[in-house]
Amino acid sequence: MAHLFLVKDIAFQAGLSTATVDRVLNGRPGVRRQTEMRVKAAIAELEKQQAGTMGNGRMLAIDIVMETPQRFSDAVRAAFEAEVATFLPGGFRCRFHFAEVMKPAELVQLLDRIRLRGTHGIVLKAPDVPEVAAAVARADAAGIPVVTLVTDLPNSARIAYAGADNRAAGETAAYLIGELLGSDGGKVLVTLSSGRFRGEEEREIGFRRSIRADYPNIGITEISEGHGTDAETGTLTAAALRADPAINAVYSIGGGNRAVLAAFDAAKRPIRVFVAHDLDADNRALLAARRIGFVLHHDLRTDARSTFRAIMSSAQASGRAVPASLSSVEIVTPYNMPAGD
């Protein structure tokens, strides 16, 4: 397996021991196929990072850590890589660490390894749980600024949050669904990837509050812990439809929208209105095909720019910088969908 990197760097990127990486690189027996693929993916990631290294000017290497479905991590990667170019000749080198599902202990271990190895900053999308907040505190104590992305950890030592106003996004979804269902009413299926993410919880709170205040004839059924993956989200949706014949609308906070639609199709149940989040590749296709009605979109490049500026400001001032600006939420339909990157 040809490469130009130190074994320890490949091991760090892959989340494996140096001994395991050495066995893979030298083709020794007893290595699982999954492990071999992790090493190959780590080398490919390091090659991307090397290709993006900037020559002139000061460069800050930062680590972007996310627990999120691949369709969203792909969109985040594209946004950060596009925004990096605007900081030339100096700027940032991004090291990406993505997983669709991580146990809190695995996430904490990764954050601690990044801290011990060294970095100019961490961009973090993670559950709002005490052990993650403790890992952020350790990074902060080591002089490493942490910026939360899309979902916040407000009780942690993070220096800034980059993302949308999630409560306002939830209220916007309630307005769209409430106005379209009108006096006929019905019940909305609200899907979350996990109740551990503060951003999703904020969206749900805003949605419930607005529905309760302005559209009392509309009920809500919630599913959670599908982690945004199609298999688990589809199973949860099918069970909810079997249990409640009144469901006729969807507010998808956590993703897995193809699976949600497939469950409705299999049950031969109509959807009066479907509101989703984020213009990832799946949602673009579903919106264009009129399978979903609205996407609540905020510009990930704006979020990337906010994280870069917060980390740069912290590095220059040797202190804490907390920009207050939030990215705006845009209602996207098939008629005003922005061009993809």
DSSP output for 200-213:
HHHHHHHHHHHHHH
143 within a domain of the structure (yes/no):
yes
Q: Domain check: are 75 and 223 in the same one?
A: no
Q: Domain check: are 145 and 221 in the same one?
A: no
Using DSSP, state whether 2 is helix, strand or coil.
coil
Low-confidence ranges of the chain (pLDDT < 70): 1-4, 49-58, 88-90, 316-325, 340-341
Q: Please give the structure tokens belonging to residue 173.
A: 């979804």
Q: Domain check: are 184 and 271 in the same one?
A: yes
Q: Domain check: are 175 and 263 in the same one?
A: yes
CATH of the domain at 34: 1.10.260
- Residue-wise pLDDT for 16-65, tens only, equals 788 888 888 888 888 888 888 888 888 887 777 666 554 445 678 899 99
Q: Domain check: are 281 and 172 in the same one?
A: yes
Q: Please say whether the beta carbons of 314 and 159 come within 8 A.
A: yes
Predicted pLDDT at 293: 97
Q: Please say whether the beta carbons of 226 and 239 come within 8 A.
A: no
150 within a domain of the structure (yes/no):
yes
Could you give the CA distance from residue 236 to residue 231 in angstroms, rounded to a whole number?
Answer: 9
Q: Domain count of the chain?
A: 3
DSSP 164: B
Range of the domain at 82: 60-162+300-326
Sorted by sequence, the CB contacts under 8 Å of residue 25 that are 6+ apart come out as 1, 3, 7, 10, 39
17 within a domain of the structure (yes/no):
yes
Q: Domain check: are 39 and 68 in the same one?
A: no
Q: Please say whether the beta carbons of 226 and 191 come within 8 A.
A: yes
Note the Cα 286 to chain centre separation in Å.
Answer: 19
Name the nearest CA neighbour of 313 among 99, 80, 120, 100: 120
Predicted pLDDT at 89: 57
335 within a domain of the structure (yes/no):
no
176 within a domain of the structure (yes/no):
yes
Q: Domain check: are 223 and 304 in the same one?
A: no
Q: Domain check: are 211 and 200 in the same one?
A: yes
333 within a domain of the structure (yes/no):
no
339 within a domain of the structure (yes/no):
no
Residue whose token pair is 């922005």:
338
Q: Please say whether the beta carbons of 220 and 177 come within 8 A.
A: no
Cα four-point dihedral sign 10, 16, 22, 28: negative
Predicted pLDDT at 54: 42
Q: Please give the structure tokens belonging to residue 240.
A: 């909810």
Q: Domain check: are 312 and 290 in the same one?
A: no
Q: Domain check: are 224 and 122 in the same one?
A: no
